[in-house]
Amino acid sequence: MKPVIALVGRPNVGKSTLFNQLTRSRDALVADYAGLTRDRQYGAAHHEGRDWLVIDTGGLTGERGGIEALMQDQAWLAMEEADLVAFLVDGRAGLTAADEQIAAELRRAGKPVLLVVNKTDGVDEHEVQAEFWALGMGEPEYIAASHGRGIGGLWERLEAMLPPELTEEPAEEPEDQGITVALVGRPNVGKSTLTNRLLGESRVLAFDEPGTTRDSIKIPFERDGKPYTLIDTAGVRRKSRVGEAIEKFSIVKTLQAIDAANVVILVLDAHTGITEQDQHLLGFINERGRALVIAVNKWDGLESDVRERVSTEIERKLGFINYAEIHRISALHGTGVGHLFESVDQAYEAAMRSISTNALTRTLSAAVEQHQPPLIHGRRIRLRYAHQGGSNPPIIVIHGKQTKRLPGHYHRYLESYFRREHDLMGTPIRIEFRTDS
Ligand code: GDP
Ligand code: GDP
């Protein structure tokens, strides 16, 4: 389970600047897909062997009413799901009334809070220090996010504040859980209906209830004699208990489930079409390199012109994900659900495949022969050999000269060539380059 940090503070104190600093190390590994809308609010970060989830909560103003209140609700919800809160203030502007209000709210929430004074470039530290001490939130950490200053120290402080259960080694997972599948999607797309249908058709094995409300339930089951583990983000078990409130949709839970899965089934709703939130989820799944199957649910009872319109929309909005099988299903009636699992198996197999250096190098040579890399200052970029650097997602490491100068389109050409040649359907692949001297 990854620790979750929420960045809170009033608008303009530098939250999104800090967010970019903290998540940068990961971003560098992410392939640049055309048309991909990055979700700026949730990001993965990596620091000294630990993975984190960082949430930029947007602005807290302390004002009430209208859209402001709504945004604040979102921010507080995100904060409730966090393990730690980094409370940002602006060292140049000094302490404001809004800061004091937020501090009071944070105290009430009872989360571990680190006060972070940003924009300390060119200010008198002593003066700033005295001012923010008055907030009574302990020793602040001083940074200048836009200069990348103080980030190392900030990580150290955050690390030291982690509750012990998050720093302990996780308990051993039982052997052979089979393929771990996460079923994710916006509220009301039909996740629980689909989960119940799946489990209804399968042999469900015993499982433990989660330790905390933030944990998802892992449900082991067998389908056609094969073991799987479902990470339940829909709160199926809870919903089915009489009298218990339906859990609210949790982005953090969803993102953690995506991370823990081998294969993600993203559920979309044919009735509402594809929304921005769907695309954000898709972007995150892709960024995390998970194998993916898309289920367009509620395909029952649609007029043919609606079906056509939705299909066009899928083409237009999901076109940038060229590796995922798309299934039109009805969780309610159970149509198409069997085929969904054929794609899950296929995606898993592709994601976990190991391919020899020989085979990859042969593919590389064939790709280069068919379409040469461009000339740079009259010299050809040379690609020499390829080997596999990881799986789920498959990483293909290509060695050569001047590889940094390869244009994006050639990058994409190689990717689709490798995908086709090695039948890597259902999983993103990462191509990395190494420059040999
Ligand atoms: P947010 O609204 O809290 O997300 O704030 P932003 O990250 O959008 O930053 C607001 C403004 O402050 C931007 O113009 C940033 O470039 C600037 N800013 C952020 N960090 C620093 C810093 O460390 N020093 C200075 N001088 N400006 C900063
Ligand atoms: P969740 O919030 O994603 O878990 O969504 P639910 O499974 O609770 O479903 C939301 C609503 O959509 C419920 O009223 C379901 O009965 C309905 N629903 C789910 N699957 C289907 C489907 O395949 N077809 C139709 N027509 N309705 C569905």
Among 324, 350, 376, residue at a domain's last position: 350
Residue nearest to atom 9 of ligand 2 (CA): 190
Please indicate, yes or no, if residue 274 is contained in any of the structural domains: yes
Estimate the crossing angle of helix 276-287 against helix 251-260, to 10 degrees: 30
Q: What's the 78 CA to ligand 1 centre distance in angstroms?
A: 21
Number of continuous H segments (helices) and E segments (strands) in the chain: 14, 18
Q: Tell whether 144 and 183 lie within a shared domain.
A: no
With a 6 Å cutoff on the Cβ, whether 11 touches ligand 1 is yes
With a 6 Å cutoff on the Cβ, whether 148 touches ligand 1 is no
With a 6 Å cutoff on the Cβ, whether 144 touches ligand 1 is yes
With a 6 Å cutoff on the Cβ, whether 58 touches ligand 1 is no
Name the residue range of residue 36's domain. 2-164
Please indicate, yes or no, if residue 189 is contained in any of the structural domains: yes
Q: Tell whether 228 and 370 lie within a shared domain.
A: no
Q: What pLDDT is attached to residue 215?
A: 64
Q: Tell whether 344 and 227 lie within a shared domain.
A: yes
Domains in the chain, number: 3
Q: What's the 190 CA to ligand 2 centre distance in angstroms?
A: 4
pLDDT band at 201 (very low <50, low <70, confident <90, very high): confident
pLDDT band at 298 (very low <50, low <70, confident <90, very high): very high
Q: Tell whether 337 and 389 lie within a shared domain.
A: no
Among 319, 350, 381, residue at a domain's last position: 350
* Lowest mean pLDDT segment, chosen from 24-28, 278-282, 297-301, 319-323: 24-28
CB 431 within 8 A of CB 411: yes
Q: What pLDDT is attached to residue 311?
A: 92
Q: What CATH number did the domain enclosing 397 receive?
A: 3.30.300.20
Q: What pLDDT is attached to residue 149?
A: 94
pLDDT band at 384 (very low <50, low <70, confident <90, very high): very high
What atom of ligand 2 comes closest to residue 193's alpha carbon?
Answer: 7
Please indicate, yes or no, if residue 169 is contained in any of the structural domains: no
Among 133, 164, 195, residue at a domain's last position: 164
Please indicate, yes or no, if residue 286 is contained in any of the structural domains: yes
Please indicate, yes or no, if residue 172 is contained in any of the structural domains: no
What atom of ligand 1 comes closest to residue 11's alpha carbon?
Answer: 2
Residue nearest to atom 20 of ligand 2 (CA): 190
Q: Looking at the predicted structure, is the pLDDT value of residue 269 above 90?
A: yes
Would you list the DSSP string of 109-163? Answer: HT--EEEEEE--TTS-HHHHHHHHHTT-S-SPEE-BGGGTBTHHHHHHHHHHHS-
- The CA-CA-CA angle for residues 349, 355, 358, to 5°, reads 165
Binding-site residue positions for GTP: 9-16, 56-60, 118-121, 185-192, 232-236, 297-300
- Pairing type for strands 203-204 and 217-223 reads antiparallel
Per residue in 3-55, pLDDT (tens digit) is 999 998 888 899 888 988 998 744 433 323 322 333 346 778 888 888 898 88
Q: What's the 332 CA to ligand 2 centre distance in angstroms?
A: 7
Q: Looking at the predicted structure, is the pLDDT value of residue 361 above 70?
A: yes
0.90 surpassed by complex ipTM: no
Q: Tell whether 98 and 147 lie within a shared domain.
A: yes
Testing ligand 2's pocket by substitution, the residue of 332, 333, 340 carrying the most ligand atoms inside 8 A of its CB is 332
pLDDT band at 388 (very low <50, low <70, confident <90, very high): very high
Q: What's the 264 CA to ligand 2 centre distance in angstroms?
A: 19
CB 350 within 8 A of CB 426: yes
Q: What pLDDT is attached to residue 30?
A: 31
Q: Tell whether 378 and 344 lie within a shared domain.
A: no
Q: What's the 45 CA to ligand 1 centre distance in angstroms?
A: 20
Q: Tell whether 368 and 337 lie within a shared domain.
A: no
Distances (CA, A) of 408 to 9, 31, 244, 258, 404: 37, 9, 51, 27, 10
Q: Looking at the predicted structure, is the pLDDT value of residue 108 above 80?
A: yes
Mean per-residue pLDDT, 107-135: 88
What atom of ligand 1 comes closest to residue 88's alpha carbon?
Answer: 3
pLDDT band at 120 (very low <50, low <70, confident <90, very high): very high
What atom of ligand 1 comes closest to residue 17's alpha carbon?
Answer: 7
What atom of ligand 1 comes closest to residue 58's alpha carbon?
Answer: 4
My answer on whether omega of the bond before 393 falls inside 30° of 0, hence cis, is: yes
Q: What pLDDT is attached to residue 432?
A: 93
- List ligand 2's pocket residues with C-beta within 6 A: 185, 187-193, 234, 297-298, 300-301, 330-332
Q: Tell whether 66 and 109 lie within a shared domain.
A: yes
With a pLDDT cut of 90, the percent of the chain lying above it is 46
Q: What pLDDT is attached to residue 127?
A: 81
Distances (CA, A) of 244 to 34, 194, 238, 247: 44, 20, 7, 9
Q: Looking at the predicted structure, is the pLDDT value of residue 184 above 60?
A: yes
Please indicate, yes or no, if residue 183 is contained in any of the structural domains: yes
Q: What pLDDT is attached to residue 411?
A: 92
Q: What pLDDT is attached to residue 242?
A: 40
Per residue in 133-180, pLDDT (tens digit) is 888 898 999 999 999 999 999 999 999 998 887 777 666 666 678 999
Q: Tell whether 196 and 56 lie within a shared domain.
A: no
Note the ligand closest to the C-alpha atom of 56. Answer: 1
Testing ligand 1's pocket by substitution, the residue of 7, 8, 10, 12 carrying the most ligand atoms inside 8 A of its CB is 12
Instruction: Name the average pLDDT for the chain.
Output: 83
Q: What CATH number did the domain enclosing 138 receive?
A: 3.40.50.300
Per residue in 54-101, pLDDT (tens digit) is 888 765 555 544 445 545 566 666 777 789 999 999 999 999 988 998
Please indicate, yes or no, if residue 171 is contained in any of the structural domains: no
Please indicate, yes or no, if residue 258 is contained in any of the structural domains: yes
Residue nearest to atom 25 of ligand 1 (CA): 119
Q: Tell whether 190 and 330 lie within a shared domain.
A: yes
Q: Tell whether 345 and 197 lie within a shared domain.
A: yes
Q: Tell whether 157 and 49 lie within a shared domain.
A: yes
Per residue in 208-227, pLDDT (tens digit) is 665 555 567 788 999 888 99
- 299 versus 200: which is more confidently predicted? 299
d(CA 26, CA 133): 34
